[in-house]
Amino acid sequence: MHGRMSDGPSIYAITLPGLEAVLADEARAAGFTLGAVTPGGVEIAGDWPDLWRANLELRCATRVLWRMGSFMAFHLAQLDKRSHKFDWGAVLDPAVPVRVEVATSRKSKIYHAGAATSRVAGGLEACGFTVAADAPVTLKIRIDDNRVTVSVDTSGDPLHKRGTKPAVGKAPLRETIAAAFLRQCGYDGTQPVLDPMCGSGTFVLEAAEMSAGLQAGRARSFAFEQLRGFDADAVAALRVTARRATPAVTHYGSDRDQGVIQMAQQNAERAGVSDLITFDTADAMKIEPPGAAAGLVMVNPPYGARIGNKKALYPVYAKLGEALRTRFSGWRVGIVTSEPSLAKTCDLPFLPDGPPIAHGGLRVRLYRTDPLA
């Protein structure tokens, strides 16, 4: 029942705008065959096993879609007719309710998403499927230039929910963004990562999992388990829960808040990487390089836009920059902030800015350096 698509790449991995190239690099490195890299995501050629593996392994993807097919529709009656004839059963299980989400473009003659949704839902119901707002499977219908593309969301919960991290502090960075920023800094799992404002531990957890060769989605379930192509034994064989045998590096997370350090420690234990991370309650301004080889300092300091007052943060960034400049020779640095003026205050030799990334109602950027002199 594998419902193979024949007309080009059928898997579409979505990421945040600005991170498409990072996701493409990650997918290539993981051995996927790529199609086009488009705004918002990456096309991957392949069949169900590739789709399952994409969900399990891609750290920078927010969700993975399976493209079921497409057709032209110039008005609602045509959409209605085609929805009644579409082969929903090739991929969907009639026993599993579905939710319908329609996005329309201004280039299409069908521009009312609500009316389009009800036509597609009517077609599904006529074919014996149940449509419900709280269904475990979501159909994503895109009408662009009068072409209706039908995809099913195979992830379910967004992929930043790794299934191992219940405890989060204030303003946590999503795991998918953290993984992408680590990759943008050239992180490949072989060097230590130090985060002196680690909060609930996102950067060091992602780094430790990468260095241990652990799959991002090893501990969670996916919407693809509700589709007709699902093969439980084949997915179980792809799901790798063991760590790679090579000795992994130690990572370092510290924060002045003892409560969040306890939270980070619990998260590391749940993820099975607590032995790869040394946590400490400490002031970020007093950080010293651990005895390890030089690696990467990754930090997501407060921005002032959401937590506290921006003006009070200038001395914090200045002191952090000074600590890094004077003590971390040979280390690379990545700093995430929504405020270019705060980044500038660090007085570090930053490379050209990365693209702005949407995060919690703000637009943040990664400011990174080569190894410090």
Please give the pLDDT value at position 153.
Answer: 98
Q: Hey, what are 51's tokens?
A: 């789709």
CATH 3.30.2130.30 fits 11-153, yes or no: yes
pTM for this predicted structure: 0.93
Res. 8: pLDDT tops 60: no
Q: Hey, what are 64's tokens?
A: 């993975």
Percent of the chain with pLDDT over 70: 94
Would you tell me the crossing angle of helices 175-184 and 20-29 to the nearest 10 degrees?
A: 80
> Going edge to edge, which strands form the sheet with 11-14?
33-38, 41-45, 11-14, 63-72, 147-153, 137-144, 98-104
Amino acid at 106: R
Residues 6+ away with beta carbon under 8 Å from 288: 327
Rounded to whole angstroms, the Cα distance separating 154 from 176 reads 17
The arithmetic mean of pLDDT across residues 31-59, rounded, is 96
Please give the pLDDT value at position 1.
Answer: 34
- CB of 337 closer than 8 Å to CB of 301: yes
Q: Could you give the residue ranges of the DSSP H alpha helices within the chain?
A: 20-29, 48-57, 76-85, 113-126, 175-184, 202-211, 232-238, 258-271, 314-327, 340-345
Q: Which CATH architecture has domain 175-212+248-368?
A: 3-Layer(aba) Sandwich (3.40)
Res. 334: pLDDT tops 90: yes
**Residue 204: which pLDDT band, with cuts at 50, 70 and 90?**
very high
- CB of 13 closer than 8 Å to CB of 21: no
Rounded to whole angstroms, the Cα distance separating 191 from 298 reads 12
Q: Hey, what are 90's tokens?
A: 């090739």
Q: Could you give the residue ranges of the DSSP H alpha helices within 127-231?
A: 175-184, 202-211
Rounded to whole angstroms, the Cα distance separating 203 from 328 reads 18
Please give the pLDDT value at position 360.
Answer: 82
Please give the pLDDT value at position 32.
Answer: 97
DSSP for 230-258, written as a single string: --HHHHHHH---SPPSSPPPPEEEEES-H
Please give the pLDDT value at position 240.
Answer: 86
pLDDT tens across 109-162, in order?
998 999 999 999 999 999 999 999 999 999 999 999 999 999 999 999 999 999
Q: Where are the domains of the chain?
A: 11-153, 175-212+248-368
Give the Å distances, CA to CA, from 220 to 155, 157, 217, 223, 274. Answer: 10, 9, 6, 10, 19
Rounded to whole angstroms, the Cα distance separating 79 from 71 reads 9
Q: Hey, what are 368's tokens?
A: 């990174």
Res. 9: pLDDT tops 70: no
